[in-house]
Structure 1
Amino acid sequence: MTAPHLDFERCYRAVSARDARFDGQFITAVRTTGIYCRPSCPAITPKPGNVTFLPTAAAAQQAGYRACRRCLPDAAPGSPLWNVRSDLAARAMRLISDGAVERGGVAALSASLGYSTRQLTRTLTSELGAGPLALARAHRAHTARLLIQTTAMPMSDVAFAAGFSSIRQFNDTVREVFAATPSAMRAEAARRTDGAGPTAGTVRLRLPYREPLDAGWLTWQLSAHAVDGLELFAAGEYRRTLRLPHGTGVAAVRINPIHQNHFGHVLTDLTLQDMRDLAPAVARLRHLLDLDADPESVDAALRADPALSESVDSAPGIRVPGSIDAEELLLRTMIGQQISLAAAATATARLVAHLGEPVDDAALTHGFPSAATIAARGHEVLAGPARRIDAVIGAAAALADGTLVLHAGRTAADLRADLMSYPGIGPWTADYVAMRTLADPDTLLGTDLVVRRGAAALGVNLSEGERWAPWRSYASMHLWRAALSRRGAIPPTLPDHEDQR
């Protein structure tokens, strides 16, 4: 059975109109050329009998197609389906994008999802046109292209940084996917490059997103929650340290909205200890900024509610912030329960300064401490009620020994239930952490004090929030923003949250 988003007539209309809103949502494969493209590619005007539509680049590669070097289909925003859907295929794609196969293999990926390797492979092949190895190979090819075209790294270093097991495998894959040798791709990129490049040791990328995007809301979220030493927001740039699978890093991102072909981009500089962390770092930044969202669908659905229509019109393309590190998110959220944003930032900054690993950066000082370090030494630094300190230490210990597992491959219901089994984690914290960890679009933060104030200001009955499904997380952002706006154009601090234990 063909997936609804691959309906031939719908896809062909999008391709005929070169509609960029569908880029990343499906792949156009042209039989007569053997090339696959994004739907908006200007180089194709295919006849209906010459095209087929596939769910992923991996499926196109599996079928023998090579990537278009004009439209670069792998550089489109990711599919919003992986957030909207919560089935096995979608959860697997989130983990594959984070490099799970490169780090632990298909067996580890399957185990983390609670399925056998055979079941997982069968499901992914049926749903996405390719198994986990082929999907991971497509991500490796994308990472290799980024490193080839944006760095001067030796090709042997590029091969291993992208996750290939040998130079031969790297060369063969690049030639098969892009119909060019790595050296030819680098020379081609050099001819297109203009202006100053990044500093030595830094990869400069443009992370695309679908327009519109409410940059003001993301700016407030990032700046208001920034923790000294760990993060900095200044002159329109958000800078923070990263704890990644193979080492640490620093990311600097600048949101640059452009209103052309439904796309904008986030200009990003990544400085990494180990280039194998490039793909996970990019995936986590995209997740943090909700860059794979389909804002037109969200806005159209919420605008249909008269109570939200004015808010949607004033903040089109509002995003739901995700997370860079799920463990950090949980522990920071618990530290900030029932205190102001300013107090939470101060407490967290003290924890980072005392227990975080130092980083070599002109503006930042430390990474967020590991769960094991907080479990062992958190009592030396954390202040406040003993019950809250014990709750934070207990959660950190559970994270450190693997009793509590946070990753984007879990279901929202299971993650919420697991979180609420720990002392000090109530419905608000569980909902908030699950929403941000999973990029769940359908969590209504109905117990949040600020959301309730926003609902009262707009005359909204939260008990009727079901009408916003499957976009209740975005409705929560609008209600949150409404309350803050009425306090003075989005204040620099956020009022206290209430956690209903």
Structure 2
Amino acid sequence: MELDFERCYRAVDSRDQRFDGWFYTGVTSTGIYCRPSCPAITPKRKNVRFFPSAAAAQGIGLRACRRCRPDAAPGSPLWDVRADVVGRAMRLIADGVVDRDGVPGLASRLGYTERHLHRMLSAEMGAGPLALARAQRAQTARILIETTGLPMAEIAFAAGFGSIRQFNDTLREVYASAPSDLRTARGRQQAPTGAGTIALRLAYRPPLHAQALLDFLAVRALPGVDEVRDGTYHRGLRLPHGTGQVALTPADGHVAATLRLADLRDLAPAVARCRRLLDLDADPAAIDATLAADPALAPAVAAEPGIRVPRAVDGFEMAVRAIIGQQVSVTAAQKSLTRLLQTPTPTPTPTPDRVDHEVIADGVGVSRQQPHDHPGAGGPGAGGGGSGAGGLRGFLGAEELLALPDSGFGMPAARRETLRGLARAVVDGSLDLAAGVDREDAVRRLLALPGIGPWTANYLAMRAFGDPDVLLSTDLAVRRGAAALGLPDTPTTLDGYAERWRPWRSYATIRLWRAA
């Protein structure tokens, strides 16, 4: 990706926070790289280089600024919404695919050879998949080093490094400090949270209309899976190495995330999924500017800036919710989903004792190690059957849904068989519902399943796959919202009118729902 020097330099010169995560500023005279908004730099033009990723800056020997912490900036909205191979690769890397399956696994998921994938990522990001994954590991390790008392060997394993030597070498190169020096420089204090928690600050680009997100999630919450309470969204998680729970509390400039994980290797995937759920890597200034150009939407945008698209932590869960929600009210769908979840499922196999950890990122904390049976423990298949602390658990997995008896569905036989067809496709690998999926291919495969029509496939494209440009023009609530704003309210006429909202029609859909 080519970066326009003059535009980037103006953003740096004005300390414009809107560009944090879009690019990184390297200062060759000091050997550091920063966020565009870093207050510590006033670089001369001849000493400045701009990079599309932190990994690219690290690749020429620059270290991360200790003041602005550029590796903890909001993610790039460009890679968050792009549907091409590079965008998909960035989402999969953030979800930890390289750490779990290596570059061959990433390339296989994307349908390209390793060599061609490396070439594409290097051209766009200035670094290959290994370097991009390495930058993420370094950030995870820094958080654990600076805020816990964990042994360095355990941190290296949790962050995804293959050896202690690789861990030490990477941190010396990225931060110009030995791991022990990072810990000494930061210092530690007693964390305010209980045992078994990891507390993080998830940055976003303001504005964020937090209440709209909480309202949307609250009305669709399922007993035992998720809930909104006292301004905080709580839910259970199904993660690659086990289960977990998260509490997300919107605050000024960040979302406070308190995670409880059965396995610390799931830290990076859990963070990526929480960011995706709340659409924290969006660029609200660009979105709102486009929608506010329409006089019909301008008052709503002015009254409620920063509306996001509530997305998903689990593609299969969102698909089940969408199928059950076809042509019924939200209340009726919740009743059917609740019955489905309350049907007994096989008990997951217990996991070995775990270690409790307390972590405060961008803050302080300690580690309190106590072997115990983690209440949310379980492998990737653990979900509907096992519950975590507080009674929250992940949604049903595909295998668990297939094991349910007919009586557990509480819905017409055709819809029950649609759900089973979906689950079979996920289990046999013919349907991928992960964040890095090819959106167009996934929609085609969904439409090929009996009982799934355009509304369901497009709803999943918007919420599970992160497509920013979906208009659900046949949706009754969308049409009511359009009518309330004086807009055309038939599918054909609304589709035509909505061309002016491209490429942000998913965000217009949320606003029309609110108008209804």
Provide the TM-score with structure 2 as the length reference.
0.89
Please list the CA deviations of residues 250-306 of structure 1 after superposition, one character each: whole Å capped at 9, or x if unmatched: 1011011x2xxxxx1100111100000000000000000000011011111110110
SS state of the match for residue 210, structure 1? coil
Inter-partner Cα distance in structure 1 for 2:59 and 2:236: 37
Counterpart of 1:357 in structure 2 is: 385
Asked if 2 retains the 8 angstrom alpha-carbon contact of 1:253 and 1:266, the reply is yes
Matched letter for residue 397 of structure 2: S
Deviates more, 1:243-252 or 1:448-457: 448-457
Counterpart of 1:261 in structure 2 is: none
SS state of the match for residue 232, structure 1? strand
Matched letter for residue 432 of structure 2: V
What is the deviation of 1:63? 1.2
Deviates more, 1:203-212 or 1:351-360: 351-360
Matched letter for residue 91 of structure 1: R
Inter-partner Cα distance in structure 2 for 1:116 and 1:157: 33
What is the deviation of 1:85? 2.2
The correspondence for 1:234, drawn from 229, 236, 244, is 229
Counterpart of 1:382 in structure 2 is: 409
What is the deviation of 1:398? 1.1
Inter-partner Cα distance in structure 2 for 1:81 and 1:327: 25
Counterpart of 2:213 in structure 1 is: 218
The correspondence for 1:90, drawn from 83, 87, 90, is 87
**Alignment map for 1:342-353 (pairs within 5 Å):** 342-353=331-342
SS state of the match for residue 404, structure 2? helix
Inter-partner Cα distance in structure 2 for 1:25 and 1:86: 17
Matched, 1:403 2:403: no
Inter-partner Cα distance in structure 2 for 1:342 and 1:154: 49
Larger RCO: 1 or 2 (CA < 8 Å, sep 6+) = 2
**Alignment map for 1:432-443 (pairs within 5 Å):** 432-443=459-470
Sequence identity percentage: 57
Would you say how many aligned residue pairs link Structure 1 and Structure 2? 471
What is the deviation of 1:412? 2.5
The correspondence for 1:105, drawn from 73, 83, 102, is 102
What is the deviation of 1:376? 2.4
**Cα distance, 1:150–1:429 mapped onto 2, change above 3 Å:** farther
Counterpart of 2:22 in structure 1 is: 25
Counterpart of 1:142 in structure 2 is: 139
What is the deviation of 1:186? 2.3
Matched letter for residue 247 of structure 2: A
Provide the TM-score with structure 1 as the length reference.
0.92
Matched, 1:456 2:483: yes
Counterpart of 2:116 in structure 1 is: 119
Asked if 1 retains the 8 angstrom alpha-carbon contact of 2:235 and 2:392, the reply is no
Matched, 1:48 2:45: yes
**Alignment map for 1:288-299 (pairs within 5 Å):** 288-299=277-288
Counterpart of 2:364 in structure 1 is: none
SS state of the match for residue 409, structure 1? coil
**Alignment map for 1:445-484 (pairs within 5 Å):** 445-461=472-488, 462=494, 463-483=496-516
Matched letter for residue 454 of structure 1: G
What is the deviation of 1:365? 4.3
Counterpart of 1:393 in structure 2 is: 420
Asked if 2 retains the 8 angstrom alpha-carbon contact of 1:375 and 1:394, the reply is no
Asked if 1 retains the 8 angstrom alpha-carbon contact of 2:226 and 2:392, the reply is no
SS state of the match for residue 307, structure 1? coil
* Unpaired runs of at least 5, structure 1: 259-263, 484-501
Matched, 1:426 2:453: yes
Counterpart of 2:441 in structure 1 is: 414
Counterpart of 2:255 in structure 1 is: 266
SS state of the match for residue 36, structure 1? strand
Inter-partner Cα distance in structure 2 for 1:297 and 1:61: 29
Please list the CA deviations of residues 34-67 of structure 1 after superposition, one character each: whole Å capped at 9, or x if unmatched: 1011101111100011000000001011111111
Inter-partner Cα distance in structure 1 for 2:191 and 2:141: 22
Inter-partner Cα distance in structure 1 for 2:393 and 2:512: 34
Deviates more, 1:120-129 or 1:409-418: 409-418
What is the deviation of 1:196? 4.6
Counterpart of 2:309 in structure 1 is: 320
Matched letter for residue 240 of structure 1: R
What is the deviation of 1:198? 2.2
SS state of the match for residue 137, structure 1? helix
Counterpart of 1:489 in structure 2 is: none
Asked if 2 retains the 8 angstrom alpha-carbon contact of 1:150 and 1:204, the reply is no
> What is the root-mean-square deviation in Å for CA atoms of aligned residues?
1.4
Deviates more, 1:345-354 or 1:206-215: 345-354
Asked if 2 retains the 8 angstrom alpha-carbon contact of 1:230 and 1:349, the reply is no
Inter-partner Cα distance in structure 2 for 1:351 and 1:26: 45
SS state of the match for residue 194, structure 2? coil
Counterpart of 1:251 in structure 2 is: 246
SS state of the match for residue 267, structure 2? helix
